[in-house]
Amino acid sequence: MIKAENLFFRYTEKSAPVLKGINLTIEKGEYVAIIGPNGCGKSTLLRHFNALLLPSAGDVWVDGKNTRDLFAHREIRQKVGMIFQNPENQIVGVTVEEDAAFGPGNLRLPPAEIRARVEAALAATNLLQHAGRAPHTLSGGEKQLLAIAGVLAMNPGYIVLDEPASSLDPAARKTLAGIIKELLALGIGVIHVTHHLDEIVPARRVLVMNEGEILLDAPPAEVFSRVEWLQALGLGVPQVTELMWRLAQLGLPVRTDVLTVEEACREISRLGK
C-alpha cells in the first residue's frame, strides 16, 4: 500500500506549508481520485508517492519502503509510475517502441524480457501498430497513451495520473478511461487527479482537498451529493448529478446522489408513475 503519515511539506524553510498533516492509505489495486481547487496541493501530494518530493515532516511509505530512504528510491519509482499533464515531457525515444523500452532498458533487463514488456505495454495502450513511428507524429491522445505505455513497461504496482486528460478531446478521454479500467483489471492501483469529474465516477474513493488538507474521503456518490459544499470550494459535480440536484431544488422527489445517465433516467421515469 501507499501510506502517508502526518505528512507536511513546504518548498522552502520559510514558506507556508503546502501539505498539512496528510494521513492517507491507498491499497494496491484501488482506484482513488483526488479533486480540489487549483493550488490546493494535489500535484504536490502526488509527487510524494514516488519520492519526487520528500516530506518536510512526517513519512510516506510505498509497500513498506520509506521515501526518506534514498537507497529505496529506485524500487519506489519502479512501483509507482507517474503520468503528467504534458506527455511530451516524458517522451525520450526516437520511435514509439524505443520510448516504451527506455524504462526497462535502464533496469538492465535481458533483451527478450524488455521486448516482451514493450510489446505487452503497447498492446495494452493500442499503440502496437505504431511501434515504428516517431513520437512527434502522434496525436495528443496517442502521446499520452505512449507515456502510459512507458510506465506500464516498468511493471508498476501503482500509476499516478496528474491531470492526464486536460488537453485531450472527448474521444481521447474515452480511450483513457478504457485504459484506466484495464489497469484496474490488472490489479494496478490508480491515483487520479482531474478536473473532468465525469471521468472519476468509477473511482472507489474521492478525496477532496483544499489548502493542503484532505477535507473529505468518501465514495463518489457521497462526495458529489454535496453540491452546495463543493460549489463553495469552487468545484463542480458531474453534469448528471447537477441536473438531479436542480430538479430537487424545484421540489421534485429525486435522489441527488445520482452519478450516471442510466440512474438519472430511472429516477426521472419514476416521477411519472
SS3 124: helix
Work out the pLDDT band at 273, boundaries 50, 70, 90. Answer: low
Residue 18 predicted with pLDDT over 70:
yes
What is the pLDDT averaged over residues 76-100? 90
Q: If pLDDT is split at 50, 70 and 90, which confidence band does 51 have?
A: very high
Q: What is the pLDDT, as a whole number, of residue 165?
A: 76
Place of cell 495520473: 161
Cβ atoms of 64 and 28 within 8 Å: the answer is no
Spatial CA neighbour of 259 closest among 233, 223, 213, 217:
223
SS3 at position 181: helix
Tell me the average pLDDT across 24-32.
94
Q: Map out the domains of the chain as residue ranges.
A: 238-273
**Which of 195, 193, 177, 266 is CA-nearest to residue 237?**
195
pLDDT for 14 beyond 90: no
- pLDDT the model gives residue 196: 83
Query: How does pLDDT run across 207-254, given as a tens digit for each residue?
Result: 999 999 999 999 999 999 999 999 999 998 888 999 989 998 988 888
Query: pLDDT exceeding 70 applies to what percent of the chain?
Result: 99
pLDDT for residue 156: 92
- What average pLDDT does the segment 86-99 reach? 89
From residue 46, alpha-carbon distances to 41, 60, 83, 182 in Å are: 9, 11, 10, 21
Confidence category of residue 11, pLDDT binned at 50, 70, 90: very high
Taking Cα atoms as reference points, which of 49, 36, 37 lies closest to residue 9? 49
| pTM of the model as a whole | 0.89
Which pLDDT score, from 0 to 100, does residue 32 have?
Answer: 97
List, for residues 152-208, the tens digit of each pLDDT value.
Answer: 999 899 999 998 877 677 877 888 888 889 889 989 999 999 888 888 889 999 999
